[in-house]
Amino acid sequence: MTIPFLSKVKLMKLSLYNIIIPYKKYLILYNTLWDSVVMCFRSDMTKWGIDDKLHLSLSNIDHRLVNTLKENKIILDDDINERNMVKNILEETNNVNDVLEFTIIPSLACNFSCWYCYENHNNKEHISQPEIKHIVLALEKIIKNKPEITTFKISFFGGEPLLFFKSVVVPLIEDIKKAQFNSSVFGAWLR
Ligand code: SF4
């Protein structure tokens, strides 16, 4: 269904990289590409007319909300190709050859239940000892084949990485002595 109004105005569309999280009478719109967040009333969302190509009818939305959505890149002009933008960012990143950043997720398990979390935490699996060896071997191989790397960073992410501190994080740290470590944790292991 095409909305007639749309032919008279510049078309806008929703970003491909939005995650929409319902919260009480609100919707939290998080854009994973630009790390931006907008919170709006659900009732505003129901006013949005969206056609079969995800074009938006913005006629019913407060212009301040439209501007906020634009500024945070939750919505964007129809002629913008986000996939090409991501490809360009990746190419630029890949051309920076002297830094290797590696993110390891010991497990998706977590003993918190943040209201905004999209993980269900039912999966208690974690990286096994043989997998630790594989990771170390893979990193060694990458570093050996890329002598231009001067900075090597490992981040731990989750879930709550400290739940598997002794069984996963410590062995990895011990095996990769030269890395700079950076961990996203909430101290939950200490509870
Ligand atoms: S700490 Fe992270 S993984 Fe755990 S519930 Fe909160 S957001 Fe989810």
Ligand 1 centroid–CA 123 distance in Å is 13
In whole angstroms, give the CA distance from residue 44 to residue 28.
Answer: 12
Look at the alpha carbons of 145, 148, 152, 157 in this order and tell me if their dihedral is positive or negative.
negative
Domain boundaries, the chain: 4-80, 96-190
Of 111, 117, 118, 185, the residue with max ligand 1 atoms within 8 A of its CB, to mutate for a pocket test, comes to 117
The residues that bridge with 76 in the sheet, in sequence order, are: 13
pTM: 0.51
Single out the residue of 164, 139, 133 nearest to residue 154, CA to CA: 139
Query: pLDDT by residue for the chain (191 residues), tens digit each?
Result: 444 444 445 678 889 999 888 888 888 889 999 999 999 888 777 666 655 555 666 666 677 888 898 999 998 998 999 999 999 998 888 777 788 888 999 998 998 888 888 877 777 789 999 999 899 888 888 878 888 888 878 899 988 999 999 999 998 888 876 544 455 555 444 44
